Protein backbone atom coordinates (compact mmCIF):
# COMPACT_ATOMS: atom_id res chain seq x y z
CA UNK A 1 0.00 0.00 0.00
CA UNK A 2 1.30 3.44 -1.01
CA UNK A 3 -0.08 5.92 1.51
CA UNK A 4 -0.81 9.34 -0.02
CA UNK A 5 -3.60 10.58 2.26
CA UNK A 6 -1.52 12.45 4.83
CA UNK A 7 -3.84 15.46 5.08
CA UNK A 8 -6.31 13.01 6.59
CA UNK A 9 -3.89 11.60 9.12
CA UNK A 10 -0.21 10.71 9.28
CA UNK A 11 1.78 7.63 10.22
CA UNK A 12 3.34 7.93 13.67
CA UNK A 13 7.14 7.51 13.38
CA UNK A 14 9.08 5.30 15.76
CA UNK A 15 10.50 8.25 17.69
CA UNK A 16 6.99 9.47 18.51
CA UNK A 17 5.80 5.99 19.50
CA UNK A 18 8.81 5.67 21.80
CA UNK A 19 8.03 9.03 23.43
CA UNK A 20 4.43 7.94 24.10
CA UNK A 21 5.46 4.63 25.65
CA UNK A 22 8.24 6.26 27.67
CA UNK A 23 5.75 8.76 29.06
CA UNK A 24 3.32 6.05 30.21
CA UNK A 25 6.16 4.44 32.16
CA UNK A 26 7.96 7.48 33.60
CA UNK A 27 5.15 9.99 34.00
CA UNK A 28 2.11 7.86 34.84
CA UNK A 29 0.68 10.14 37.55
CA UNK A 30 -2.10 12.69 37.03
CA UNK A 31 -0.54 16.04 36.15
CA UNK A 32 -3.04 17.76 38.48
CA UNK A 33 -1.92 15.68 41.49
CA UNK A 34 0.71 18.14 42.66
CA UNK A 35 0.49 17.05 46.31
CA UNK A 36 3.08 14.29 45.76
CA UNK A 37 6.33 13.71 43.91
CA UNK A 38 4.99 11.60 41.02
CA UNK A 39 2.30 14.17 40.24
CA UNK A 40 4.82 17.02 40.39
CA UNK A 41 7.15 15.09 38.09
CA UNK A 42 4.35 14.55 35.57
CA UNK A 43 3.34 18.20 35.80
CA UNK A 44 6.89 19.37 35.12
CA UNK A 45 7.05 17.10 32.07
CA UNK A 46 3.72 18.50 30.85
CA UNK A 47 5.13 22.02 31.01
CA UNK A 48 8.26 20.95 29.12
CA UNK A 49 6.04 19.53 26.37
CA UNK A 50 4.05 22.76 26.36
CA UNK A 51 7.25 24.72 25.81
CA UNK A 52 8.17 22.57 22.79
CA UNK A 53 4.70 22.75 21.21
CA UNK A 54 4.69 26.54 21.72
CA UNK A 55 7.85 26.74 19.60
CA UNK A 56 5.86 25.41 16.63
CA UNK A 57 4.02 28.74 16.59
CA UNK A 58 6.63 31.13 18.04
CA UNK A 59 4.30 31.36 21.01
CA UNK A 60 4.69 31.71 24.74
CA UNK A 61 3.98 28.45 26.60
CA UNK A 62 1.37 30.15 28.79
CA UNK A 63 -0.76 30.72 25.68
CA UNK A 64 -0.96 26.99 24.79
CA UNK A 65 -3.99 24.98 25.93
CA UNK A 66 -3.93 21.22 25.33
CA UNK A 67 -7.12 19.52 24.14
CA UNK A 68 -8.35 16.74 21.85
CA UNK A 69 -7.56 18.53 18.58
CA UNK A 70 -8.61 21.23 16.14
CA UNK A 71 -12.29 20.25 16.01
CA UNK A 72 -12.57 20.84 19.74
CA UNK A 73 -10.51 24.03 19.49
CA UNK A 74 -12.69 25.42 16.69
CA UNK A 75 -15.87 24.67 18.62
CA UNK A 76 -14.36 26.18 21.76
CA UNK A 77 -13.48 29.49 20.11
CA UNK A 78 -16.69 30.00 18.12
CA UNK A 79 -18.92 29.15 21.09
CA UNK A 80 -16.88 31.10 23.64
CA UNK A 81 -16.76 34.29 21.56
CA UNK A 82 -20.50 34.08 20.94
CA UNK A 83 -21.27 33.52 24.63
CA UNK A 84 -18.95 36.36 25.65
CA UNK A 85 -20.62 38.99 23.48
CA UNK A 86 -24.26 37.85 23.15
CA UNK A 87 -25.33 39.29 26.53
CA UNK A 88 -24.23 42.73 25.30
CA UNK A 89 -25.97 42.72 21.91
CA UNK A 90 -25.81 41.14 18.48
CA UNK A 91 -22.92 38.91 17.47
CA UNK A 92 -21.71 38.68 13.88
CA UNK A 93 -18.98 36.25 12.78
CA UNK A 94 -17.15 36.24 9.45
CA UNK A 95 -15.70 33.01 8.11
CA UNK A 96 -15.04 31.53 4.67
CA UNK A 97 -17.03 29.16 2.48
CA UNK A 98 -14.21 26.58 2.46
CA UNK A 99 -13.71 25.99 6.19
CA UNK A 100 -13.56 22.53 7.70
CA UNK A 101 -16.94 20.96 8.49
CA UNK A 102 -16.42 21.28 12.26
CA UNK A 103 -16.28 25.06 12.00
CA UNK A 104 -19.05 25.44 9.44
CA UNK A 105 -21.37 23.24 11.49
CA UNK A 106 -20.83 25.03 14.80
CA UNK A 107 -21.47 28.34 13.03
CA UNK A 108 -24.68 26.96 11.55
CA UNK A 109 -25.71 25.65 14.98
CA UNK A 110 -25.19 29.03 16.63
CA UNK A 111 -27.25 30.77 13.97
CA UNK A 112 -30.25 29.12 15.62
CA UNK A 113 -29.42 31.12 18.77
CA UNK A 114 -29.18 34.52 17.13
CA UNK A 115 -25.55 34.57 16.01
CA UNK A 116 -25.25 35.97 12.49
CA UNK A 117 -22.61 34.51 10.17
CA UNK A 118 -21.22 35.71 6.84
CA UNK A 119 -19.51 33.09 4.67
CA UNK A 120 -17.01 34.96 2.50
CA UNK A 121 -16.41 33.50 -0.99
CA UNK A 122 -13.03 32.43 -2.35
CA UNK A 123 -11.52 33.01 -5.79
CA UNK A 124 -10.76 30.32 -8.39
CA UNK A 125 -7.44 29.56 -6.72
CA UNK A 126 -9.19 28.80 -3.43
CA UNK A 127 -8.02 31.89 -1.55
CA UNK A 128 -10.42 34.11 0.37
CA UNK A 129 -11.53 37.33 -1.33
CA UNK A 130 -10.17 40.12 0.87
CA UNK A 131 -12.34 42.87 -0.64
CA UNK A 132 -15.46 40.86 0.12
CA UNK A 133 -14.19 40.14 3.62
CA UNK A 134 -13.73 43.85 4.26
CA UNK A 135 -17.17 44.58 2.85
CA UNK A 136 -18.73 42.03 5.23
CA UNK A 137 -17.53 43.82 8.38
CA UNK A 138 -20.27 45.35 10.55
CA UNK A 139 -20.26 47.24 13.85
CA UNK A 140 -21.28 44.02 15.63
CA UNK A 141 -18.63 41.80 13.97
CA UNK A 142 -16.84 40.11 16.87
CA UNK A 143 -14.72 37.43 15.17
CA UNK A 144 -13.08 36.68 11.85
CA UNK A 145 -12.22 32.98 11.47
CA UNK A 146 -10.26 32.01 8.35
CA UNK A 147 -8.40 28.70 8.04
CA UNK A 148 -4.65 28.88 7.41
CA UNK A 149 -4.35 26.18 4.74
CA UNK A 150 -7.17 24.32 3.07
CA UNK A 151 -7.29 20.60 3.76
CA UNK A 152 -8.49 19.67 0.25
CA UNK A 153 -6.55 21.92 -2.11
CA UNK A 154 -3.66 22.96 0.13
CA UNK A 155 -4.31 26.64 -0.69
CA UNK A 156 -2.62 28.97 1.79
CA UNK A 157 -4.81 31.82 2.93
CA UNK A 158 -3.53 35.44 3.20
CA UNK A 159 -3.33 35.34 6.99
CA UNK A 160 -1.22 38.47 7.44
CA UNK A 161 -3.72 40.53 5.43
CA UNK A 162 -6.73 39.01 7.21
CA UNK A 163 -5.11 39.67 10.58
CA UNK A 164 -4.40 43.29 9.66
CA UNK A 165 -8.05 43.78 8.64
CA UNK A 166 -9.20 42.31 11.95
CA UNK A 167 -6.86 44.50 14.02
CA UNK A 168 -7.79 47.66 12.11
CA UNK A 169 -11.43 47.03 13.00
CA UNK A 170 -10.85 45.83 16.58
CA UNK A 171 -12.14 42.34 15.73
CA UNK A 172 -10.86 39.06 17.15
CA UNK A 173 -9.02 36.80 14.69
CA UNK A 174 -9.01 32.99 14.78
CA UNK A 175 -7.38 30.58 12.35
CA UNK A 176 -7.75 26.83 12.03
CA UNK A 177 -4.11 26.00 11.30
CA UNK A 178 -4.42 22.22 11.52
CA UNK A 179 -3.08 21.76 7.98
CA UNK A 180 -0.36 24.44 8.21
CA UNK A 181 1.34 23.93 11.57
CA UNK A 182 3.81 21.06 11.34
CA UNK A 183 3.99 21.31 7.54
CA UNK A 184 5.26 24.89 7.21
CA UNK A 185 6.73 27.37 9.71
CA UNK A 186 4.02 29.35 11.51
CA UNK A 187 4.47 32.40 13.72
CA UNK A 188 1.91 34.10 15.95
CA UNK A 189 4.36 36.99 16.09
CA UNK A 190 3.98 37.43 12.33
CA UNK A 191 0.26 36.69 11.94
CA UNK A 192 -0.92 38.11 15.30
CA UNK A 193 -3.97 35.87 15.78
CA UNK A 194 -5.99 35.75 18.98
CA UNK A 195 -6.70 32.02 18.61
CA UNK A 196 -5.06 29.18 16.63
CA UNK A 197 -6.29 25.56 16.40
CA UNK A 198 -3.95 22.63 15.70
CA UNK A 199 -4.06 18.81 15.70
CA UNK A 200 -1.11 16.52 16.44
CA UNK A 201 -2.09 13.79 13.98
CA UNK A 202 -1.70 16.15 11.03
CA UNK A 203 2.06 16.37 11.66
CA UNK A 204 2.97 12.79 12.67
CA UNK A 205 1.73 12.91 16.24
CA UNK A 206 -0.98 10.74 17.80
CA UNK A 207 -4.71 11.11 17.16
CA UNK A 208 -7.00 12.61 19.77
CA UNK A 209 -4.67 15.35 21.00
CA UNK A 210 -4.07 18.92 19.89
CA UNK A 211 -3.76 22.44 21.16
CA UNK A 212 -5.32 25.88 21.08
CA UNK A 213 -3.21 29.01 21.07
CA UNK A 214 -5.13 31.60 23.07
CA UNK A 215 -4.20 35.22 23.79
CA UNK A 216 -7.62 35.98 25.31
CA UNK A 217 -8.09 33.47 28.16
CA UNK A 218 -10.79 35.69 29.69
CA UNK A 219 -13.09 34.87 26.78
CA UNK A 220 -12.57 31.11 27.03
CA UNK A 221 -12.75 31.07 30.82
CA UNK A 222 -16.09 32.89 30.70
CA UNK A 223 -17.67 29.95 28.83
CA UNK A 224 -15.48 26.82 28.65
CA UNK A 225 -16.62 24.12 26.26
CA UNK A 226 -15.96 21.44 28.92
CA UNK A 227 -16.80 22.11 32.56
CA UNK A 228 -14.99 20.17 35.26
CA UNK A 229 -11.90 20.27 37.40
CA UNK A 230 -10.41 23.41 35.91
CA UNK A 231 -7.34 21.86 34.30
CA UNK A 232 -5.34 23.86 31.76
CA UNK A 233 -5.74 27.07 33.77
CA UNK A 234 -9.50 26.67 33.78
CA UNK A 235 -9.69 26.81 29.99
CA UNK A 236 -10.11 23.08 29.26
CA UNK A 237 -11.21 20.75 32.04
CA UNK A 238 -10.50 17.04 32.02
CA UNK A 239 -7.44 14.99 32.92
CA UNK A 240 -4.69 15.94 30.49
CA UNK A 241 -3.73 13.21 28.00
CA UNK A 242 -0.05 13.36 28.90
CA UNK A 243 1.12 10.44 26.69
CA UNK A 244 -0.65 12.08 23.75
CA UNK A 245 0.92 15.43 24.59
CA UNK A 246 4.33 13.73 24.81
CA UNK A 247 3.89 12.29 21.33
CA UNK A 248 2.76 15.67 20.02
CA UNK A 249 5.81 17.37 21.53
CA UNK A 250 8.16 14.81 19.98
CA UNK A 251 6.53 15.28 16.57
CA UNK A 252 6.90 19.05 17.00
CA UNK A 253 10.54 18.65 17.97
CA UNK A 254 11.20 16.55 14.86
CA UNK A 255 9.56 19.13 12.60
CA UNK A 256 11.52 22.00 14.12
CA UNK A 257 14.77 20.12 13.51
CA UNK A 258 14.08 19.10 9.91
CA UNK A 259 11.47 21.36 8.30
CA UNK A 260 13.78 23.01 5.76
CA UNK A 261 14.72 19.64 4.31
CA UNK A 262 11.14 18.32 4.47
CA UNK A 263 9.68 21.31 2.66
CA UNK A 264 12.34 21.44 -0.04
CA UNK A 265 11.97 17.72 -0.75
CA UNK A 266 8.17 17.86 -0.92
CA UNK A 267 8.22 20.83 -3.28
CA UNK A 268 10.43 18.91 -5.70
CA UNK A 269 8.22 15.82 -5.54
CA UNK A 270 5.02 17.86 -5.92
CA UNK A 271 6.36 19.59 -9.04
CA UNK A 272 7.48 16.24 -10.43
CA UNK A 273 4.10 14.59 -9.79
CA UNK A 274 2.11 17.39 -11.41
CA UNK A 275 4.40 17.51 -14.44
CA UNK A 276 4.31 13.73 -14.90
CA UNK A 277 0.55 13.54 -14.43
CA UNK A 278 -0.09 16.27 -17.03
CA UNK A 279 2.27 14.56 -19.46
CA UNK A 280 0.58 11.18 -19.10
CA UNK A 281 -3.00 12.52 -18.87
CA UNK A 282 -2.99 15.89 -20.69
CA UNK A 283 -6.66 16.62 -19.96
CA UNK A 284 -6.16 16.54 -16.17
CA UNK A 285 -7.17 19.75 -14.39
CA UNK A 286 -5.20 20.88 -11.33
CA UNK A 287 -7.59 22.41 -8.79
CA UNK A 288 -6.42 25.40 -6.81
CA UNK A 289 -3.27 27.46 -6.57
CA UNK A 290 -0.01 25.62 -7.22
CA UNK A 291 2.25 28.34 -5.79
CA UNK A 292 0.56 29.59 -2.62
CA UNK A 293 -0.19 26.10 -1.35
CA UNK A 294 1.06 23.34 0.91
CA UNK A 295 4.16 21.61 -0.48
CA UNK A 296 2.67 18.15 0.03
CA UNK A 297 -0.80 18.58 -1.51
CA UNK A 298 -2.16 18.18 -5.06
CA UNK A 299 -5.85 18.29 -5.95
CA UNK A 300 -6.76 17.29 -9.50
CA UNK A 301 -9.72 16.18 -11.62
CA UNK A 302 -9.75 13.72 -14.48
CA UNK A 303 -12.51 14.71 -16.92
CA UNK A 304 -14.96 11.94 -17.71
CA UNK A 305 -14.02 9.78 -14.71
CA UNK A 306 -15.72 9.64 -11.34
CA UNK A 307 -13.23 9.80 -8.49
CA UNK A 308 -15.26 7.26 -6.51
CA UNK A 309 -14.92 4.71 -9.33
CA UNK A 310 -11.19 5.24 -9.74
CA UNK A 311 -10.49 5.20 -5.99
CA UNK A 312 -12.34 1.88 -5.65
CA UNK A 313 -9.96 0.41 -8.23
CA UNK A 314 -6.95 1.75 -6.35
CA UNK A 315 -8.02 1.30 -2.73
CA UNK A 316 -5.94 -1.82 -2.05
CA UNK A 317 -2.83 -0.34 -3.67
CA UNK A 318 -2.80 3.46 -3.27
CA UNK A 319 -4.40 5.54 -0.49
CA UNK A 320 -5.90 8.70 -2.00
CA UNK A 321 -9.06 10.66 -1.22
CA UNK A 322 -11.74 12.60 -3.04
CA UNK A 323 -12.47 15.11 -0.24
CA UNK A 324 -11.72 15.63 3.43
CA UNK A 325 -11.75 12.48 5.55
CA UNK A 326 -14.91 13.49 7.41
CA UNK A 327 -16.86 13.42 4.12
CA UNK A 328 -15.19 10.47 2.39
CA UNK A 329 -17.96 8.01 3.32
CA UNK A 330 -20.71 10.36 2.14
CA UNK A 331 -19.47 10.57 -1.47
CA UNK A 332 -20.69 14.16 -1.69
CA UNK A 333 -19.09 16.68 -4.06
CA UNK A 334 -16.53 18.88 -2.36
CA UNK A 335 -17.98 22.09 -0.92
CA UNK A 336 -14.48 23.55 -1.22
CA UNK A 337 -14.19 23.00 -4.97
CA UNK A 338 -17.79 24.10 -5.49
CA UNK A 339 -17.01 27.36 -3.68
CA UNK A 340 -14.03 27.83 -6.02
CA UNK A 341 -16.31 27.61 -9.04
CA UNK A 342 -14.96 24.29 -10.30
CA UNK A 343 -17.21 23.00 -13.09
CA UNK A 344 -19.80 20.44 -12.05
CA UNK A 345 -18.43 17.76 -14.36
CA UNK A 346 -15.03 18.07 -12.64
CA UNK A 347 -16.36 17.97 -9.07
CA UNK A 348 -17.14 14.25 -9.22
CA UNK A 349 -13.68 13.56 -10.63
CA UNK A 350 -11.61 15.40 -8.03
CA UNK A 351 -8.85 13.52 -6.19
CA UNK A 352 -6.57 14.72 -3.40
CA UNK A 353 -3.03 13.46 -3.06
CA UNK A 354 -1.12 14.43 0.08
CA UNK A 355 2.45 13.24 0.65
CA UNK A 356 4.33 12.69 3.88
CA UNK A 357 7.89 13.81 4.51
CA UNK A 358 8.97 10.20 3.95
CA UNK A 359 7.16 9.62 0.63
CA UNK A 360 9.73 8.32 -1.86
CA UNK A 361 10.20 8.97 -5.55
CA UNK A 362 9.62 5.26 -6.19
CA UNK A 363 6.27 5.40 -4.40
CA UNK A 364 5.17 8.39 -6.47
CA UNK A 365 6.21 6.68 -9.70
CA UNK A 366 4.33 3.53 -8.77
CA UNK A 367 1.23 5.53 -7.76
CA UNK A 368 1.40 7.42 -11.06
CA UNK A 369 1.62 4.19 -13.06
CA UNK A 370 -1.38 2.70 -11.29
CA UNK A 371 -3.42 5.90 -11.42
CA UNK A 372 -2.81 6.47 -15.12
CA UNK A 373 -3.31 2.80 -16.01
CA UNK A 374 -6.71 2.57 -14.32
CA UNK A 375 -7.77 5.98 -15.64
CA UNK A 376 -6.98 4.95 -19.22
CA UNK A 377 -8.90 1.71 -18.81
CA UNK A 378 -11.92 3.60 -17.50
CA UNK A 379 -11.65 5.95 -20.47
CA UNK A 380 -11.45 2.95 -22.79
CA UNK A 381 -8.08 3.93 -24.28
CA UNK A 382 -5.99 1.08 -22.93
Selecting among 102, 107, 289, 326, the annotated active-site residue is: 326
- Choose among 142, 148, 138, 140: nearest CA to 96: 148
Active-site annotation holds for 326: yes
Annotated active-site positions, please?
Answer: 326
Amino acid sequence: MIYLDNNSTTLIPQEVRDAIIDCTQKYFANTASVSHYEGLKANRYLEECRRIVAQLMDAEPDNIVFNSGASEANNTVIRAVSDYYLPHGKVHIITSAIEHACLLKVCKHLQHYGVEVTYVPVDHSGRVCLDLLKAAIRPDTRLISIMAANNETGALQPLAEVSAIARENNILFHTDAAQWVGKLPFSVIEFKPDFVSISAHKFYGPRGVGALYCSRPDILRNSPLIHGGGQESGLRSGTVNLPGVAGMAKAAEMFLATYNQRIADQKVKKKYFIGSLLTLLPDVVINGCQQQSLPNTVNFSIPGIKASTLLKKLKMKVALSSASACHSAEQKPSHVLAAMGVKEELLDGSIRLSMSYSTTQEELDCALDLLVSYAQRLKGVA
